Amino acid sequence: MPSNLIRLGNKCNQNCVFCTVALDNEKELTNEEVKRRIEFLSREGADIITFTGGEPTLREDLVELIQFAKKRKFKRIELQTNGVLLSDKKLAQRVVEAGVDEVLVSLHSHKKEISEKLTNAPGTFDKTLNGIKNILEAGGKVCISHVINSLNYKELTEFVKFMRRKFPTLSFYFGFVRPNGNTKFNRWVVPKISDADFYVYKLFDYCRKNKIPFSVEGLPLCYMQGYEVHSSEVHRIISEPVFYLAGGETKYDVHRFVIENFRKKGEQCEHCFLKDICGGVWMEYAEMYGTEELFPVFISKEEIVKSVKEGWESWRRSLLKRS
């Protein structure tokens, strides 16, 4: 069975200008509600479970919940966080010892002033860096979640260089900003994909040449030519879904739901050989900028599907082996 997300609640100690869940009204899950969901996923045969928010580290029972999940024999436990509270060494140590295999830490610039403008949380940049340091020193693994936006897209490669100098084992997850949630009130933070194109390819090229693990979300495949294997969206479209458990009992395939309800393609995309494995752009992005930037690609879909399956299966095996 594939990966599964459990959103613990919406409370957060930052207020990112592009946060996609800030306006949601989902209630905070109780301890027992979370445990019931963990039990459910265990019975369903899930091998990977991810705790997300809001900010999960605000919960006093987080370590207990991780321990509870660990006893249910999941092969891999992940935590999504901004890392601020993990600047407390004791908490970082407890999280790792409880059984978290990888921590996905959100950080959107290597420059303090830009980072804190994006998060609306003065004083948290250094704490996030310390949180990363503490997790790594405790023996945990860290992947950096980086939202590509108007303030950082010209310095994507510089960000990776900065982070890898400080922490050489980091991997990276890049997501193109989605114009919903808080972004509805901060449209300035959404660049045109075509404007970011040069810098995105520069980033891809640098990571590949230096064998830096990375994945990408939110970019149409016409802007990922030669790097399709790094598209987490293609992987999900052609293989296993990611299920999401929120405040209610509803369980659904996150990615298929998103593709069918919140993504859009242009008429020209009908001629693209990759149209069946590409998600296009966010619906809200199309409302802002249209779809004229998109263009058909005439390369073998079968070869890309084969490469993506092989690449992601190898990545998945390595994750489970290390866990």
Tokens for 90, please give them: 């004791």
Contacts of 300 (CB under 8 A, 6+ apart): 273
Among the four given CATH numbers 3.20.20.70, 1.10.3430.10, 3.50.50.60, 3.40.50.800, the one describing domain 3-263+302-322: 3.20.20.70
The pair of three-digit structure tokens given for residue 8, joined into one six-digit string: 């613990």
How do beta strands 251-253 and 243-245 pair?
Answer: antiparallel
Structure pTM? 0.91
Task: Give the residue carrying structure tokens 């070869």.
Answer: 303
List b or e across 60-86, with b for residues whose CB sees 16 or more CB atoms inside 10 angstroms.
eebbebbebbbeeebebbbbbbbbbbb
- Cβ contact 75:47 at 8 Å: yes
Alpha helix segments (H runs only) across 111-253 = 112-119, 125-137, 156-166, 193-209, 232-238
Per-residue tens of pLDDT for the chain, all 323 residues: 455 889 999 999 999 999 998 667 778 999 999 999 999 999 888 889 999 999 999 999 999 999 999 999 899 999 999 999 999 999 999 999 999 999 999 999 999 999 999 999 999 999 999 999 999 999 999 999 999 999 999 999 999 999 999 999 999 999 999 999 999 999 999 999 999 999 999 999 999 999 999 999 999 999 999 999 999 888 888 876 555 555 544 555 655 666 667 789 999 999 999 999 999 999 999 999 999 999 999 999 999 998 887 876 666 565 555 55
The secondary element (H helix, E strand) that includes residue 261 is: helix 254-262
Boundaries of every domain in the chain: 3-263+302-322
